[in-house]
Amino acid sequence: MNQRERLFAFLNNEPVDRVPIWLLFPYHRIGCYVDVHNLDCYRRIVDVAMDKTVWLNRRPGRAPLYTPDVKIWNEEETVNGAHIFRRNIAYKDCHLIREVRTGPDGKSIKPYLTSEEDLDILLSIPIELDEKALYKALDAQAVAYRREMAEFPTHLGAMMNALGEPIGSIYGMSDLSEMPIWSITAPEKVEALLDRYMMRHRLIYRYFLENDLGDVYFMVGSELASPPMVSRATFQRWIVPYAQELIAMAHSYGKKVIQHYHGQIKEILPDFLTMGPDALHVIEAPPIGNCTHTEAFDIVGDKIGLIGNIQYDDFRALTPEEMDKAVYECLEECRGRRFMLSPTAGPYEEYISEQMQANYIQFIQSGWKYGAM
């Protein structure tokens, strides 16, 4: 099998010749990761990975969030030795501000949403739901996307779209100490926002699906409103129905879906069966999370493929001999199950030590050695 065949056998719950290995390295540059192809410290890793690992070329989908009559601008000033940067969003008499203050006492950030009143303001700011406007922006991106599709060696894996979920916009704007309180005091306001953002996501997903852009969808959102931050009941309202619909939409076009989740997943793992992805990245055992792979497989069986799980910090801290042992133990625990080996996080550091480089290479080599069926 080549890497693509191995990937899709895993996603389809079909036999594989060996456990697929995924580094999370993108083939083309994306903002959340460094450019592994043009940094010397990643060069040896990339050379080894080209032969032995799956490449999922993660791409974003960018379209206007607000209608053209919403004004967005920046302001900067210095007050008492502190630099203040403000990002403003305004529509008629509705105004939200995000402020970053950097000074002698350190850095502080005031997010857009710090109160229920701010939720009301955001509900009054119109988002872009005009299909023509959204698709015009996406048409411009599709030109570059199709060029990247042509450049991507198909045998390595697949193009993978990360288009977001409704919770993402709210989470990114909110005071995270207030958001759990809103799940009790103002859930209807958050849910009204989620419903509005979902209308926009339906249009964006449909564009990618109807234009056959990519074979895999990567959904990062479930971890943004889950226990212990909010209750399982809130998770089932704020996350599950929206993800379930988007996953079903992707499946209706014959596409595959991988959901991403960090943290304490055991309580809500049955809800991923309701959402219905093809695979889930990652399952984290204590002390980072609260669920082992064995416990996870006991819940999901072979209905969802599991992806994981060497902690990113272990690539920094372990010796290559310890990395070999960690990979072996992970693969032994998951032997015979629907599993793909990966780190917990992607390459976000521009410089990594020689030890970390050696651990990446050991991770690949050990995964290849012990992953044969």
Per-residue pLDDT of the chain (373 residues; tens, 9 = 90+): 999 999 999 999 999 999 999 999 999 999 999 999 999 999 999 999 999 999 999 999 999 999 999 999 999 999 989 999 999 999 999 999 999 999 998 999 999 999 999 999 999 999 999 999 999 999 999 999 999 999 999 999 999 999 999 999 999 999 999 999 999 999 999 999 999 999 999 999 999 999 999 999 999 999 999 999 999 999 999 999 999 999 999 999 999 999 999 999 999 999 999 999 999 999 999 999 999 999 999 999 999 999 999 999 999 999 999 999 999 999 999 999 999 999 999 999 999 999 999 999 999 999 999 999 8
- What is the pTM for the complete model shown? 0.96
pLDDT for the residue numbered 373: 85
The CATH code that applies to domain 3-65+127-370 is 3.20.20.210
Show me where the domains of the chain are located.
3-65+127-370, 71-112
Per-residue confidence (pLDDT) for residue 372, from 0 to 100: 95
SS3 per-residue string spanning the chain: CCHHHHHHHHHCCCCCCECCEECCCCCCCCCCCCCHHHCHHHHHHHHHHHHHCEEEEEEECCCCCECCCCEEEEEEEEECCEEEEEEEEEECCEEEEEEEEEECCEEEEECCECCHHHHHHHHCCCECCCHHHHHHHHHHHHHHHHHHHHHCCHHHEEEEEECCCHHHHHHHHECCCCHHHHHHHCHHHHHHHHHHHHHHHHHHHHHHHHCCCCCEEEEECHHHCCCCCCCHHHHHHHCHHHHHHHHHHHHHCCCEEEEECCCCCHHHHHHHHHHCCCEEECCCCCCCCCCCHHHHHHHHCCCCEEEEEECHHHHHHCCHHHHHHHHHHHHHHCCCCCEEEEECCCCCCCCCCHHHHHHHHHHHHHHHHHCEC
pLDDT of 284 reads 95
